[in-house]
Amino acid sequence: MRYAPDHKRITRHRIVAAASAAFRERGVEGTGVDEVMRRAGLTHGGFYAHFSDKAELVAEACADAFDAAVENLDRIAARPTGAKRARLLIDSYLSARHRDNRGSGCLVVTVGADMARLDSAGRSGYAKGFARHLDRLCAALRLARDPEKNRDLVTHLMSSLVGALLFARAADTPARSDALLSSARRMLREEFCR
């Protein structure tokens, strides 16, 4: 069977997209190559035509997930003030929709802990993607004129958002989860949106 010239590139992208969602839903450790290939509608054997190992896939899927956030960052960057930019990020990040849709949500919350346990190309790829993502967040939010202060504020805000979302996802009842999101939104608005 003869394939179109871009068949391999399209198939690889399908695998990366499936892996990106699976890693965010189940974590890297909890997701095998079989699961990724099943989600991509392919067989396990086809994996090695595209990737040398799972670590290579992890690195590419993480980069893809961080790049997917650019559209949201552009929306944030378009707001006229730092307070309005921070408010949009806080409200969207700590929403029930974001909490409930792990597969399309923030990679840091679900995959960050896995990276601390990996010692491979996957961890290196994640670290590079995360550094680039943090730079993009700093450029989008612009919370202070001084670049170092801006980076400190953005890092503090993102750490708070990630922790609050993690807590909300871990809550044992929907009411507790909603309360955690509401409380964190209120506190972070008071700190960053005045």
Please report the pLDDT score of residue 118 as a whole number.
Answer: 79
39 plus 76 within the same structural domain: no
Q: What is the mean pLDDT of residues 80-97?
A: 97
Residue range of the domain that includes 31? 7-57
Q: What are the pLDDT digits (tens) for 126-169?
A: 899 999 999 999 999 999 999 999 999 999 999 999 999 999 99
133 plus 79 within the same structural domain: yes
Please report the pLDDT score of residue 115 as a whole number.
Answer: 85
Please report the pLDDT score of residue 95 as a whole number.
Answer: 97
Q: Kindly report the CATH number assigned to the domain that includes residue 23.
A: 1.10.10.60
72 plus 123 within the same structural domain: yes
Please report the pLDDT score of residue 81 as a whole number.
Answer: 97
End-to-end CA distance of the chain: 62
118 plus 181 within the same structural domain: yes
Mean pLDDT of the chain: 92
46/95 Cα distance (integer angstroms): 38
93 plus 43 within the same structural domain: no
Please report the pLDDT score of residue 158 as a whole number.
Answer: 97
Does 177 map to a domain? Answer: yes
Q: What are the pLDDT digits (tens) for 5-54?
A: 787 888 899 999 999 999 999 989 889 999 999 999 988 888 988 898 89
The one-letter code for the residue type at 85 is R
35/21 Cα distance (integer angstroms): 11
Question: Which CA distances in Å does 16 have to 50, 100, 105?
Answer: 10, 22, 16
Q: Kindly report the CATH number assigned to the domain that includes residue 123.
A: 1.10.357.10
- 46 in Cβ contact with 37 (< 8 Å): yes
Is the per-residue pLDDT at 3 higher than 80? Answer: no
73 plus 97 within the same structural domain: yes
Query: How many domains is the chain built from?
Result: 2
pTM of the model: 0.87
Q: What are the start-end ranges of the H helices in 27-146?
A: 33-39, 54-68, 70-77, 82-93, 96-100, 107-117, 121-141
109 plus 24 within the same structural domain: no
182 plus 102 within the same structural domain: yes
Q: Of 3-17, 67-81, 99-113, which range is least confident? A: 3-17
Q: What are the pLDDT digits (tens) for 159-188?
A: 999 999 999 999 999 999 999 999 999 999
75 plus 53 within the same structural domain: no
Does 28 map to a domain? Answer: yes
